[in-house]
Amino acid sequence: MDKFLKKAFVAAAIKFPSALFGMFCIFSVLVILDLTVPAAAAALMSFFEPALLFIQRWLPLFYVPSLVVLPLAVKDIPAASGLKICLIIAGGWLASLTVAGYAAIAVRKLVKTEMIDPEPMAKPSPFSSLEIWSWSVIFIASFVAALFYPTALGTQARTCLPFLLASTVLGYMVGSGLPSQVKKAFHPIICCTISAELGAFAYGYFSRSGLNPVLGHYLTKVGSNPGAGDVLMGFLGSVILSFAFSMFKQRKLVKRHAAEIFTSVILSSVFSLYSTALAGRLIGLESDLTISILPRCITVALALSIVSLFEGANSSLTAAVVVVTGLIGANFVQAMLDKLNLRDPIARGIATASSAHGLGTAALSAKEPEALPFCAIAYALTGIFGSLICSVPAVRQSLLAIVG
């Protein structure tokens, strides 16, 4: 379905991410079946359950490739400007998280909707020592083979693919097995990224090719010459489609709390855009760089389409900023939600996805699967509302006026 939708959207010249559209389509089909033929909806859910558990088990891994190649995206940014951007990203993430979370609770109190317990969600099994040893053997064997036969599979990207993929997977497995207290400050996504970077660095050192060329082989974005990152990101569309099943499981809560979901997402989207523009102006960040980081809380595909509406924007910087925002969210979101006393899965899910999009969604839902449906909805709606807001000429002009 993911492949079909991608081809259809390309043929129709539609820039909106096809997977988000597909997610809402699957959710609608399940709801209609549940109303007309409940047994068919139950059978469909039962059929896809093993695949959903597989995706849930590996979910953060599919968002890692952009983090691994981050050094290539930011290498040309001046240090002073980079520091200002980091300040805006960190402060903006915390502000957006707070606004979305408390807005959800405030609207709930306003409409007087009582919170009910979510449907229990199955948790995937932990990784076994056999799996870790198996991937370790794959890494060592493929690394040695790549060193001695650098074009054995036709291109260097294909030759590097097995050991770079194995190093990424190994890092995620090891990170997932760390004690819970350690994971609060050192998320498996960080461990996974570092592991992949170390694998690339080791190959670059022993082959004397350097780190950057190897990272270039990690994510080529060329279908005929894929790297390890391309393989992992190839799952992303299917992952987003699968969110529909989690949303359907919590359909009663979704319907019951629609007011706070929509209101908090809209408020958070508007706040994120204008607060970023204002912060850039106040700390003296160059206007072209400020424009490039405006959609920091929106998923990469839509963020790139938003900055294309502004002249002089740096799309590479946009992608890098979105990834770093997600990284901060993935690493600190659970601890920060606890400190802000946001306890229920609805507020936690909305706040996470509204401030840290896919990476934050993957990180939180790996530990709190009951929050995934609300992450998924906020993840999609934040991108949709952000795109709609920025497509209005008056809004773009007001943002440019603030940026200066």
Q: How much is the pLDDT for 361? A: 80
Identify whether the C-beta of residue 299 lies closer than 8 Å to the C-beta of residue 322.
yes
Q: How much is the pLDDT for 122? A: 67
38 has a pLDDT exceeding 90:
yes
Q: Which of 357, 342, 330, 394 is nearest to 265 (CA)?
A: 357
Domain residue spans in the chain?
1-68+126-242, 78-119+250-403
DSSP assignments along 86-144, one per residue: HHHHHHHHHHHHHHHHHHHHHHHHHHTPPP-PPPP---PPPPPHHHHHHHHHHHHHHHH
pLDDT, mean of residues 13-30: 85
Burial 184-210 (b: 16+ CB within 10 A, else e): eeebbbbbbbbbbbebbebbbeebebe
Q: How much is the pLDDT for 176? A: 85
Give the predicted TM-score (pTM) of the model: 0.79
Q: How much is the pLDDT for 116? A: 64
Question: What is the percent of the chain with per-residue pLDDT over 90, rounded to a whole number?
Answer: 30
Q: How much is the pLDDT for 87? A: 92
**Residues 227-283: tens digit of each pLDDT:** 899 999 888 888 888 888 888 887 887 788 888 888 988 999 999 999 999 999 999
Q: Which helix (H) or strand (E) covers residue 23, if one does?
A: helix 18-36
In angstroms, the CA 235 to CA 279 distance is 36
**Residues 367-383: tens digit of each pLDDT:** 788 788 888 888 878 88
- The amino acid at 374: F
Q: How much is the pLDDT for 118? A: 61
Q: How much is the pLDDT for 120? A: 64
Number of H helices, E strands in the chain: 21, 0
21 has a pLDDT exceeding 80:
yes
**Residues 197-233: tens digit of each pLDDT:** 999 999 999 988 888 899 889 988 888 888 899 999 8
pLDDT, mean of residues 127-132: 92
Query: How far is residue 202 from each of residues 137, 145, 154, 189, 225, measured CA to CA in Å?
Result: 16, 14, 21, 20, 22
Q: How much is the pLDDT for 240? A: 82
**Residues 286-297: tens digit of each pLDDT:** 888 899 889 888
In angstroms, the CA 353 to CA 274 distance is 18
In angstroms, the CA 82 to CA 364 distance is 27
Q: pLDDT category, 121, cuts 50, 70, 90?
A: low
Most confident of 110-114, 201-205, 392-396: 201-205
**Residues 59-98: tens digit of each pLDDT:** 888 878 878 888 887 777 888 888 999 999 999 999 999 9
Q: How much is the pLDDT for 119? A: 63
Identify whether the C-beta of residue 280 lies closer than 8 Å to the C-beta of residue 273.
no
Q: How much is the pLDDT for 195? A: 93
Q: Taking all residues of the chain, what is their mean pLDDT, rounded to a whole number?
A: 86
Burial 151-166 (b: 16+ CB within 10 A, else e): eeeebbbbbbbbbbbb
Q: pLDDT category, 184, cuts 50, 70, 90?
A: low
Query: Collapsing DSSP states into helix, strand and coil, what is residue 267?
Result: helix
Q: pLDDT category, 343, cuts 50, 70, 90?
A: confident
pLDDT, mean of residues 392-400: 89
Structure tokens at 244: 């529909």
169 has a pLDDT exceeding 90:
yes
